[in-house]
Amino acid sequence: MFIEKISRLVVVVKRVGAGLIGAGFAANIHANAYKRLPNVDVVAVYSRTAERAKKFAEDHGLKAWYTDMDELLERED
């Protein structure tokens, strides 16, 4: 009975986007960990300095970087 119920279970996996706050050492660790998750896309990074945000985005293949945290948080993805 229990196995029968499990076999009828349908799992819907939704992709989610992750935005990183900060572009330092810990952000590198988090970005690399998120990339290993099958349903997570790292989509953007925020840093107080444009140079760090841009470099982090380039290093991790991100299309978006921000120096305004509100802009990052307003993203739909």
Structure tokens at 3: 């196995």
Edge-first strand listing for the sheet containing 16-21: 16-21, 40-46, 64-66
pTM of the model: 0.80
CA 34/CA 28 separation, integer angstroms: 10
Three-state secondary-structure class, residue 61:
coil
- pLDDT value, residue 1: 47
pLDDT score for 45: 98
d(CA 57, CA 5): 45
Q: Which fold has domain 17-73?
A: Rossmann fold (3.40.50)
DSSP-based helix, strand, coil % in the chain, nearest 5:
45, 20, 35
> Domain boundaries in the chain?
17-73
pLDDT at 8: 63
pLDDT in tens, the chain (77 residues): 455 555 666 666 788 999 999 999 999 999 999 999 999 999 999 999 999 999 999 999 999 999 999 999 999 98
